């Protein structure tokens, strides 16, 4: 178990200590539940009352936070408490990962596979022929690395992940449990008799640097060429990325989104949960797509917000929703007008 003093933590997050700089912690806790030996933080003013009652040994707070009562914990003041706590969690995770080194048994590593320095291969992992793993790669139990897969440095692959043959994974990538990288795209050609002939999927998946992929997400290999996840992309759990799709750099996608084949999503795009995107369309840079939106066509204007089904610019979509809401009343008025017109026609 890792243990750090307040002074050591302050150096990590570039903060200033108030109180006993030698006090140590070995775990994290929410400010309302933390106990002695744990570190917590205060970022939301709604939780300020817990600052004075918390049993945490160390609490990270904002430089601007004014104290109204005496506090027993050692404080570390930083410009942004939430960001500093996130940085601390990341550093702690990295240090824990550094302790994992070596190869557990039973596991299978092909004779032609290449492993970089400071690797960790857990029991029941499989690494296929010609696979190349960089330095500081962590492979956990029941992971399957296919033939000729290339994996960069500082990559963590959690239990149950399958990476099919010929896929390429960049540096500083995290893939969470149950994800499938490089399975066949959904390609079937209709035949005259009504049946379907499978179209071989000969491409691969390329995942660039600094990508995180959530649990049970699937990314299909390209028919020809590559399905590409660009640098800095963050994918939530249970997302489907179809063959030959491309996700632009620093795009974030929430859970249960489906991206159809050959769709190109720009950089810095934000996509809400349960959104569906049709195939062979393009989404411009910086677009925000609200949850449960159905995107059926290309949008070329950057930084707009889309919502509804079919997707439209937010203001236009909201106006349409108002019209739909008023349809029963409009129908009633039309019926009344029809009756009035009929009566006037009879009098004429």
Residues 108 and 246 grouped into a single domain: yes
Residues 62 and 113 grouped into a single domain: no
- What pTM did the predictor assign? 0.82
Count of CB atoms situated within 10 Å of the CB of 41: 29
Contact 147/130 with Cβ under 8 angstroms?
A: yes
Task: Give the range among 132-136, 172-176, 284-288, 317-321 with minimum mean pLDDT.
Answer: 317-321
Residues 78 and 216 grouped into a single domain: no
Mean pLDDT of the chain: 94
pLDDT of residue 321: 75
Residues 27 and 51 grouped into a single domain: yes
Residues 76 and 44 grouped into a single domain: yes
Give me the helix-helix angle, 327-347 and 314-325, nearest 10°. Answer: 50
Segment holding 315, helix H or strand E: helix 314-325
Residue 98 has pLDDT above 90, yes or no: no
Contact 14/83 with Cβ under 8 angstroms?
A: no
Count of CB atoms situated within 10 Å of the CB of 62: 17
Q: Is 158 a catalytic residue?
A: no
Catalytic option among 119, 136, 176, 243: 243
pLDDT of residue 277: 98
Residue 229 has pLDDT above 90, yes or no: yes
Residue 5 has pLDDT above 70, yes or no: yes
Contact 129/113 with Cβ under 8 angstroms?
A: yes
pLDDT of residue 348: 65
How many structural domains are present in the chain? 3
Residues 158 and 19 grouped into a single domain: no
Residue 318 has pLDDT above 80, yes or no: no
Residues 138-153 have pLDDT tens digits of 999 999 999 999 999 9
Contact 235/198 with Cβ under 8 angstroms?
A: no
Contact 50/31 with Cβ under 8 angstroms?
A: yes
pLDDT of residue 94: 81
Residues 305 and 332 grouped into a single domain: no
Task: Give the range among 82-96, 158-172, 201-215, 334-348 with minimum mean pLDDT.
Answer: 334-348
What percentage of the chain reaches a pLDDT higher than 90? 84
Residues 211 and 293 grouped into a single domain: yes
Residues 17-45 have pLDDT tens digits of 999 999 999 999 999 999 999 999 999 99
What percentage of the chain reaches a pLDDT higher than 70? 99
Residues 188 and 333 grouped into a single domain: no
pLDDT band for position 1 (cuts 50, 70, 90): low
Residue 108 has pLDDT above 90, yes or no: yes
- Per-position DSSP letters for 12-72, written without gaps between them: HHT-EEES-TT-EE-EE--TTT--TTEEEE--SGGGHHHHHH---SEEEEETTPPP-S---
Picking from 140, 51, 76, 78, the residue whose alpha carbon sits closest to that of residue 104 is 140
Residues 187 and 279 grouped into a single domain: yes
Residues 126 and 237 grouped into a single domain: yes
Residues 113-142 have pLDDT tens digits of 999 999 999 999 999 999 999 999 999 999
Residues 200 and 309 grouped into a single domain: yes
Q: What is the CATH number of the domain that holds 159?
A: 2.160.10.10
Residues 235-265 have pLDDT tens digits of 999 999 999 999 999 999 999 999 999 999 9
pLDDT of residue 164: 98
Q: Domain span at residue 330?
A: 318-347
């Amino acid at each position: 178990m890792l243990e750090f003093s307040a002074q050591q933590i302050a150096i990590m997050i570039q903060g200033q200590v108030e109180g006993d700089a030698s006090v140590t912690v070995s775990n994290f806790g929410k400010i309302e539940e933390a106990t002695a030996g744990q570190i917590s933080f205060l970022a939301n003013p709604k939780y300020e009352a817990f600052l004075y009652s918390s049993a945490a040994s160390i609490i990270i707070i904002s430089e601007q936070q004014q104290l109204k009562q005496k506090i027993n914990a050692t404080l570390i003041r930083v410009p942004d408490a939430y960001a500093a706590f996130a940085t601390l969690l990341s550093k702690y995770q990295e240090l824990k990962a550094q302790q994992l080194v070596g190869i557990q048994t039973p596991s299978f590593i092909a004779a032609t596979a290449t492993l970089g320095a400071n690797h960790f291969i857990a029991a029941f992992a499989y690494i296929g022929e010609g696979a190349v793993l960089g330095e500081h790669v962590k492979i956990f139990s029941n992971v399957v690395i296919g033939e000729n897969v290339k994996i960069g440095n500082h990559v963590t692959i959690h239990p149950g992940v399958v990476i099919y043959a010929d896929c390429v994974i960049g540096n500083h990538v995290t893939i969470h449990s149950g994800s499938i990288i490089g399975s066949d795209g959904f390609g079937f050609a209709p035949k005259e008799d009504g049946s379907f002939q499978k179209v071989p999927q000969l491409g691969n998946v390329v995942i660039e640097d600094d990508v995180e992929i959530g649990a049970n997400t699937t990314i299909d290999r390209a028919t020809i060429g590559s399905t590409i996840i660009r640098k800095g992309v963050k994918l939530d759990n249970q997302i489907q990325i179809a063959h030959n799709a491309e996700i632009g750099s620093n795009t974030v996608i929430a859970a249960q989104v489906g991206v159809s084949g050959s769709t190109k999503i720009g950089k810095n795009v934000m996509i809400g949960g349960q959104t569906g995107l049709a195939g062979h369309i393009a989404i411009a840079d910086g677009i925000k797509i609200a949850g449960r939106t159905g995107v059926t066509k290309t949008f070329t204007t950057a930084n707009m917000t889309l919502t509804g089904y079919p997707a439209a610019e937010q203001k236009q979509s909201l106006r349409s929703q108002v019209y739909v809401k008023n349809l029963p009343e409009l129908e009633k008025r039309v019926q009344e007008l029809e009756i009035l017109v009929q009566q006037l026609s009879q009098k004429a």
